[in-house]
Chains A and B, each alone.
Chain A
Amino acid sequence: MNWLRWGSSGGATGEPLWKEEFSVRTADERYVTRRQLTKFLVLTSFGMFVGNIWILIRSLFYKAPVYPQQAVAQLGEIPVGGVKLFSYPTKDDHCIMIRTGEDEYVSYSQKCTHLSCAVYYSQAENRLECPCHNGFFSIKDGAVLQGPPSRPLPRIVLEARGEQLVAVEVKG
């Protein structure tokens, strides 16, 4: 298939590909024929079909990831309205925990779902704010309040065990 070539150079004449494709000579102009277009369409839709089958097979064999249990804070370690940063489930996944009430703790991934800037807790507005593009997230469930992010922040499920707060799962 001559018309499906990669690379910036190559071809019989040794000229750059763009010079061949946009030749100044009428005689060297190449047009896509009806048959070539049809072939392209058929092959592309076949590729889409194979891709969909692949996605289907993957979803059939999907296994829910297993999250580690990790003690992230002591009860009463932070004051009401206070914030603690930690990493969960791996060292590179930064999270933010806010004590919203006497016995209420919420925790979210700190990565904004727009362009991965670190969100911070605004006590005055009682919401999570991303400083990069003014994306605001609800403190209740991590839902987007305004701005460019389209998905809510992933929530870290916390469990109180004795005097410890243990992160057990990432949701969303």
Chain B
Amino acid sequence: MINFDFIEREESIRSAAYVCWHCDEPTCAQVCPADAIKKGEDGIVHSSLKPRCIACNNCVLACPFGIPKMMIPEQQMMKCDMCYDRTSIGKRPMCATVCPSQALSYVRPEEIASRREKPTNIFYFGSQKITTKVYMMAPAEREAIALDVVDYMWEENHELVAVGQ
């Protein structure tokens, strides 16, 4: 499932891709009361299991990246599962396939080692540390991406800036 959303749609055509980061300790799965979200042996955090999901929205609220989406008609949470039908047979995920500027790319680590930016998979959301399977390209001097949602809540001029830890 590919999640794209517009940001401030009235004023801009900006969009954001809600690509799952496939956390090592997935918060969505940890808060699931029905044991419906599972991290597979290959590290992919899957959509909720249909027979188990009770559509309680816990994962939707808990995920710091805002990835899980509640599909109301199905009464089931669905999320980006790295296009498991494609990647499990060696194809690239759909978003990386169609992205014209390679902002989303699906490559081997050695293929991006030569770039100026450095891939990082360590995120801080307040005091919660998250390590992920998916990497984000960050400025070379950054070890981790740190965000505190509270910092952006009551600010007039909010800019998303990465703060080194």
Chain B residues 29-45 with CB under 8 Å of chain A are 29-30, 32, 35, 37-41
Set of chain A residues within 8 Å of B119, measured between Cβ atoms = none
Interface centre among A22, A25, A27, A29 (most CB of B within 10 A): A25
Is B26 interfacial (CB-CB < 8 Å)? yes
Question: Cα distance A22–B39 when bound, in Å?
Answer: 12
Sorting the interface of chain A by its residue count into under 10, 10 to 19, 20 to 34 or 35 or more gives under 10
Q: Which secondary structure characterizes the binding site on chain B? A: loop
Chain B residues 5-63 with CB under 8 Å of chain A are 25-26, 29-30, 32, 35, 37-41
Q: Are A26 and B29 in contact (CB under 8 A)?
A: no
Chain A residues 3-38 with CB under 8 Å of chain B are 22, 24-27, 29
Q: Are A27 and B35 in contact (CB under 8 A)?
A: no
Number of residues in B with C-beta < 8 Å to the partner? 11
Give chain B nearest CB distance to A32 CB in angstroms: 15
Q: Are B41 and A24 in contact (CB under 8 A)?
A: no
Set of chain B residues within 8 Å of A22, measured between Cβ atoms = 35
Question: Cα distance A29–B30 when bound, in Å?
Answer: 14
Chain B residues 128-157 with CB under 8 Å of chain A are none
Q: Are A26 and B35 in contact (CB under 8 A)?
A: no
Q: Are B40 and A24 in contact (CB under 8 A)?
A: no
Across the interface, name the chain B residue whose C-beta is closest to A27: B41
Q: Are A26 and B37 in contact (CB under 8 A)?
A: no
Set of chain A residues within 8 Å of B38, measured between Cβ atoms = 24-26, 29
Q: Are A26 and B40 in contact (CB under 8 A)?
A: yes
Set of chain B residues within 8 Å of A26, measured between Cβ atoms = 38-41
Question: Cα distance A121–B137 when bound, in Å?
Answer: 83
Question: Cα distance A25–B25 when bound, in Å?
Answer: 9
Set of chain A residues within 8 Å of B40, measured between Cβ atoms = 25-26
Question: Cα distance A131–B41 when bound, in Å?
Answer: 61
Set of chain A residues within 8 Å of B29, measured between Cβ atoms = 24
Interface centre among A22, A24, A27, A29 (most CB of B within 10 A): A24
Question: Cα distance A25–B37 when bound, in Å?
Answer: 9
Across the interface, name the chain A residue whose C-beta is closest to B32: A24
Across the interface, name the chain B residue whose C-beta is closest to A19: B30
Question: Cα distance A29–B37 when bound, in Å?
Answer: 12
A-B pairs, 7 with minimum CB distance: A24-B29, A27-B41, A22-B35, A26-B38, A25-B39, A26-B40, A24-B39
A-B contact pairs, 19 of them (CB 8 A): A22-B35, A24-B25, A24-B26, A24-B29, A24-B30, A24-B32, A24-B37, A24-B38, A24-B39, A25-B38, A25-B39, A25-B40, A25-B41, A26-B38, A26-B39, A26-B40, A26-B41, A27-B41, A29-B38
Task: With A24-B39, A26-B38 given, name 16 new contacts (CB 8 A).
Answer: A22-B35, A24-B25, A24-B26, A24-B29, A24-B30, A24-B32, A24-B37, A24-B38, A25-B38, A25-B39, A25-B40, A25-B41, A26-B39, A26-B41, A27-B41, A29-B38
Mark B residues whose CB is within 8 Å of A.
25-26, 29-30, 32, 35, 37-41
